[in-house]
Structure 1
Amino acid sequence: MIDKIQPSIVEAVQIIPDGASILVGGFGEAGVPFELLYALRDLGRRDLTIISNNAGTYEIGIAALIVAKLVRKVICSHPRPPNSETFAAAYRAGQVELEVVPQGTLAERLRAAGAGLGAFFTPTGYGTRLADGKETRVVDGVGYVLEQPLFGDFALIKAHRGDRWGNLTYRWAARNFAPVMCMAARHAIAQVDQVVALGELPPEHVMTPGIFVKTVVPLHAKDPATSAATA
């Protein structure tokens, strides 16, 4: 019997080793898997590469990992949203590396990885410093940059509902990068607001099929040390 439900958030992320690359869902603070990130912080995993839309805000979520000096590199499209001084200070101090990827390119690199595709050409970034060191080509007068698929060892995402097979749905903007990140990761872990019985999610409503998800953790099972209050 397939049952991907993990009752403990700490146990769900314990599989993540030092040096892992981690895809983290979220757009601003919508859809950020805060509880999973706090559990990872509390375990003290180090030398992490975080791949996300932004680099965290205040001292919560991804920024909490940066405060704890657990992050070696951030790959994102928007490192300086409002209230992102934690990342900025760490970057200026040389404590964390940064690779900036245009938002559409970030999404397409993740999608290419999840779909089993190779490198692709995009006009975004052509003629800018983002193209330095990359293959470029001009086709019909338009310049293109060759970009590579972007894989992750793990994905940490937040969903609204999930079943024991790993099928997921999201609420509103919380969906954002989560579906492609689950596809691009070798091991996707989803925290969910609610676990439902098999068949309760209509097939046409499933936004991430369970084949792309390894672990589902209901939020009611969160460990006290991983709550937002400890951030």
Structure 2
Amino acid sequence: MNFFSSKVKKTAVKATLPSKPWYREYGEALLVAGILALIIRSFVVQAFKIPSGSMEDTLLIGDHLLVNKFLYGIQIPFTDGRYLAMRHPQRGDIIVFEFPEDRGKSYFQRRDFIKRVVGTPGDVVEVREKRVFVNGQPYYLANEVHKEGVLLPANLSPRDFMPPVTVPAGRYFVMGDNRDRSYDSRFWGFVSDGEIKGLAFIKYFSFSEEKYQNLPLVPKGDGLFGNLFRVLLSPVCARWDRFGRSIG
């Protein structure tokens, strides 16, 4: 009888043990979600926003896009190592990369640029009177635009006249589609394989700053209220026709 009573008491004690506190359960869920988000951002896909007009009219200021980070190989954070690549960057790819002039800066100080690949390893790239030549042949894209008619002489700028350069192994020559208003490989050289973050493949959102600035009684700056108003007025200022468009 005593043995049975003792067993019942132990069972009752076990049944009434408290569960995890609610804040611990929420904390663990947030931790798991944060780890998954970090893995996806680091190895699968990452969102970027276009801040300048160097890729017009393919990409406009205010376009938000997604970048495929595993196509060119998985990159280990804080290193230049890349593994399990499905393919290498090809001519015509639009890529996001760390700005080569930031190479001496810390990882968190490096800026991201977006340009189109024009030359791959072994290619010879040249610019004559604004026209791009690759391996001696004209390289023209329907997407490229020229917004300035004046030719700058070679002794002033490599924008319109650049002598032939051979792209080294593990390097890429990139240019903006807005040829006359792009700061690219003509000025600062090649992008290394380790600096490439991925391939831009789709526009998921587009915000027209011009529409926003033309609205009455809205904060014009980038402060707290300005950014809050931009979020609230996104349906009004969105470029709906650009949503979900592939990039190429």
| TM-score category of the 2 structures, normalised to the smaller one | under 0.3
Q: How high is the TM-score relative to the length of structure 2? A: 0.23
- TM-score, normalising length from structure 1? 0.24
Larger Rg computed on CA atoms? 2
